[in-house]
């Protein structure tokens, strides 16, 4: 067997984390992207900048502050303790929370871009045809922003799989709980098990490349078939 | 099938700068208070930035006026406190540019309206499809349609809403002249067949001369004139210069056909005119348009020119044109009014004054309906 049980456990954990985070991010990120695309509020710029922060911030900085927030005296820690959930730090759900922040821009921005590109006109048309707000969201926004939503899901998923710094800061290295793939590779290298590290690292490389390749092929085809959008 | 007896009264006050508007005025204000007929096509004419689209968007509820009151056929759509949201108004809207959903086929675009409308029966659906000649397009996606086909589908979709009011915002402006001529007959058919009040925004007077029964002239957010199209177009006192579009429309009846020269004689209240044979049967009523630039004046009746149509007229008044060299002369011919656009020099030369009787020579008459 090329991969050890610990490797397989790390892979399973990583996939579970990335799936959970992607689902939650689509649920949270879509309304946020909608708001950012449509609002003329002065809050648009500061909120947009906050969302984009993980793009430029070292993951350790984000992880550090999340760790403090999740700690027994931090606001998140106080909240989870008062709800009887204990501490989030060094737990799977702590990783989920951290990853949501970390991958947020990768989900919000593509959706926001496609809603902005769609413009207000399709919604106005739907309204004049008798569609109410919720009807408009599902029959107009979702299908017209579909490309952005798929891109967001793929990027959010792939980015969460490759996460390292934040995990190490708030999750530590607990097998089956917080020891994800990137941490497992790090452990192999620390232990000078280069052969094992290679298998996992090469696997990640191939996975990431194939993911992006699929995405770009899909986007290219979509651009050609959707040459027409709303003119004027 | 008729949508009968709709009376509409619009009261709408709106006054605020509109963020992001392309209008030349940064401090645009719309301030209108009007009563419009509950049937027929009301043309809303104005140059860009005159507020005609803004008015239409307020009526549709797409734009919230600071103060708005709107009553359509006795139904309150907006008053000082409440505003019925767009999707609950029994109204349809045709936009200037293509407004078909790109993710749906033509048939699905039509279904989108039908699903949300009061019951649309099969025969009505089939009839609209036939009127607009789009049956064979149903399976296509909207990007496989020409501009004219797209607008025909959009107009059909608007009718399938079964609206009590139809709003059209420059529905032909995105089309070239040829496509425009292709769609106009469809619009006329709909007008002839449905007694549905239509507000039709356009900056093209030739379109309105053909389609509109009633005309509203807007300028800088205000309504300058409002009345039957014949009455409004026979005015020369509007501060909106119409330039080469200045001219009257007149109702007329076909009385005689001259097959040899392919002409028909039409009679209007001020006399009769020979026009190109439009194929109309004797006794048909039609609408003719006489542009002011095609009317010249002579003190006596000349028979030695190429001009076929000469009518005795009386000068009503003279108004300076926006072009300094030109004057607009309003003439009465029987019950009708004609306008001639001639040079100031000619006015001086002929010593024109109100009350003069003379001959109007009409170079060209267009049958617009």
Q: What is the pLDDT of residue B194?
A: 84
CA neighbor of B106 nearest in space, from B82, B135, B81, B126: B135
Burial class (CB in 10 A: 0-12, 13-18, 19+), B167: buried
User: Pick the residue with more confidence: B164 or B360?
Assistant: B360
Q: What is the pLDDT of residue B29?
A: 75
Asked if B221 and B187 count as a contact pair (C-beta separation under 8 A), the reply is no
ipTM for the complex shown:
0.81
Which residues of A lie closer than 8 Å to B, measured between beta carbons? 40, 121-122, 124-132, 135, 139-140, 143-144, 146, 226-232
State whether A130 and B60 contact (CB < 8 Å).
Answer: no
Asked if B219 and B240 count as a contact pair (C-beta separation under 8 A), the reply is yes
B253 has a pLDDT exceeding 70: yes
Q: What is the pLDDT of residue B17?
A: 44
A217-226, B28-37, B83-92: least confident range: A217-226
CA A218 – CA A148 distance, rounded (Å): 11
Measured in angstroms, the CA of A150 and the nearest CA of chain B are apart by 16
Residue A50 sits at the vertex; the CA angle it makes with A48 and A53, to the nearest 5 degrees, is 110
Give the CATH H-level superfamily of domain A5-222: MetI-like (1.10.3720.10)
Q: What is the pLDDT of residue A127?
A: 95
CA B345 – CA B323 distance, rounded (Å): 13
Measured in angstroms, the CA of B88 and the nearest CA of chain A are apart by 6
List the domains of chain B with CATH numbers: 8-233 (3.40.50.300), 247-251+283-367 (2.40.50.100)
Q: What is the pLDDT of residue A178?
A: 86
Q: Are strands B295-298 and B357-362 parallel, antiparallel or unpaired?
A: antiparallel
Model pLDDT for residues A39-66, shown as the tens digit of each residue: 888 999 999 999 999 999 999 999 999 9
State whether A129 and B157 contact (CB < 8 Å).
Answer: yes
CA B31 – CA A28 distance, rounded (Å): 43
Q: Are strands B8-15 and B91-94 parallel, antiparallel or unpaired?
A: unpaired
A27 has a pLDDT exceeding 80: yes
| Tokens found for residue B344 | 């100031």
- Average confidence (pLDDT) over B204-225: 90
Model pLDDT for residues B290-314, shown as the tens digit of each residue: 999 999 999 988 788 888 899 999 9
Measured in angstroms, the CA of B64 and the nearest CA of chain A are apart by 13
**CB interface of B with A, residues 174-213, below 8 Å:** 174
Q: What is the pLDDT of residue A223?
A: 61
Q: Give me the phi and psi of B32, to 5 degrees please.
A: -130, 150
Q: What is the pLDDT of residue B27?
A: 60
CA B216 – CA B52 distance, rounded (Å): 9
What is the DSSP code string of A105-160? HHHHHHHHHHHHHH-SHHHHHHHHTT--HHHHIIIIIHHHTHHHHHHHHHHHHHHH
Q: If DSSP codes are grouped into helix, strand and coil, which group holds residue B182? A: helix
- Average confidence (pLDDT) over B156-171: 92
Average pLDDT, chain B: 86
Nearest to B86 among A128, A139, A228 (CB): A128
Q: What is the pLDDT of residue B25?
A: 42
Segments in chain A forming alpha helices (H): 5-38, 44-56, 59-70, 75-82, 92-118, 121-128, 133-136, 142-144, 146-161, 165-170, 181-190, 194-225
B132 has a pLDDT exceeding 80: yes
Confidence of residue A148 (pLDDT cuts 50, 70, 90): very high
């Amino acid at each position: 067997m090329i991969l050890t049980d610990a490797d397989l456990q790390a892979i399973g954990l990583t996939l579970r984390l990335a799936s959970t985070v992607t689902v939650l991010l689509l649920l949270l990120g879509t309304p946020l992207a909608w708001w950012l695309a449509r609002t003329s509020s002065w809050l648009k710029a500061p909120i947009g900048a906050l969302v984009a922060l993980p793009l430029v911030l070292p993951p350790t900085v984000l992880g550090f502050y999340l760790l403090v927030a999740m700690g027994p005296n931090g606001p998140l820690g106080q909240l989870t303790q008062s709800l009887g959930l204990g501490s989030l730090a060094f737990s799977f759900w702590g990783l989920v929370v951290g990853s949501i922040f970390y991958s947020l821009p990768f989900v919000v921005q593509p959706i926001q871009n496609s809603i902005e590109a769609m413009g207000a006109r399709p919604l106005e048309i739907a309204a004049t045809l008798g569609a109410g707000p919720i009807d408009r969201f599902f029959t107009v926004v979702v299908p017209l922003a579909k490309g952005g939503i798929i891109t967001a899901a793929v990027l959010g998923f792939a980015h969460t799989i490759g996460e390292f710094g934040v995990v190490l800061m708030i999750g530590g290295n607990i097998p089956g709980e917080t020891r994800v793939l990137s941490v497992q590779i790090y452990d192999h290298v620390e232990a000078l098990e280069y052969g094992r590290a290679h298998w996992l690292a090469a696997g990640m490389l191939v996975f990431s490349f194939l993911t992006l390749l699929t995405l770009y092929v899909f986007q290219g085809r979509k651009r050609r078939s959707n040459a027409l959008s709303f003119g004027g | 099938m008729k949508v009968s007896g709709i009376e509409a009264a619009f009261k709408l006050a709106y006054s605020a700068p509109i963020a992001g508007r392309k209008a030349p005025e940064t401090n645009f204000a719309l301030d209108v208070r009007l009563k419009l007929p509950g049937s027929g096509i009301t043309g809303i004419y104005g140059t860009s930035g005159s507020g005609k689209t803004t008015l239409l968007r307020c009526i549709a509820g797409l734009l919230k006026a600071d103060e708005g009151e709107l009553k359509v056929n006795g139904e309150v759509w907006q008053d000082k406190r409440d505003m019925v949201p767009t999707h609950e108004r029994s109204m349809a809207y045709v936009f200037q540019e293509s407004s078909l959903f790109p993710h749906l086929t033509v048939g699905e675009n039509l279904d989108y309206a039908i699903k949300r409308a009061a019951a649309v029966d099969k025969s009505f659906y089939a009839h609209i499809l036939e009127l607009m000649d789009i049956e064979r397009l149903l399976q296509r996606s909207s990007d496989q349609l020409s501009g004219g086909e797209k607008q025909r589908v959009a107009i059909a979709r608007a009718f399938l809403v079964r609206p009590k009011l139809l709003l059209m915002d420059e529905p032909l402006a995105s089309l070239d002249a040829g496509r425009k001529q292709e769609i106009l007959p469809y619009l006329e058919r709909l007008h002839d067949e449905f007694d549905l009040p239509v507000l039709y925004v356009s900056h093209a007077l030739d379109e309105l001369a053909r389609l509109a029964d009633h005309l509203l002239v807007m300028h800088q957010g205000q309504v300058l004139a409002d009345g039957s199209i014949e009455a409004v177009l026979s005015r020369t006192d509007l501060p909106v210069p119409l330039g080469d579009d200045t001219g009257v429309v007149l109702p007329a009846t076909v009385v005689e056909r001259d097959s040899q020269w392919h002409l028909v004689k039409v009679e209007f209240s001020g006399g009769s005119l020979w026009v190109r044979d439009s194929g109309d049967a004797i006794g048909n009523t039609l609408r003719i348009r006489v542009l002011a630039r095609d009317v010249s004046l002579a003190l006596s009746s000349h028979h030695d020119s190429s001009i076929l149509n000469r009518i005795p007229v009386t000068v009503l008044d003279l108004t300076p044109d926006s072009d300094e060299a030109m004057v607009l002369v309003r003439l009465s011919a029987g019950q009708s009014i004609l306008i001639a656009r001639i040079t100031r020099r000619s006015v001086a030369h002929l010593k024109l004054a109100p009350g003069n009787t003379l001959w109007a020579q009409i170079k060209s008459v267009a049958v617009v309906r």
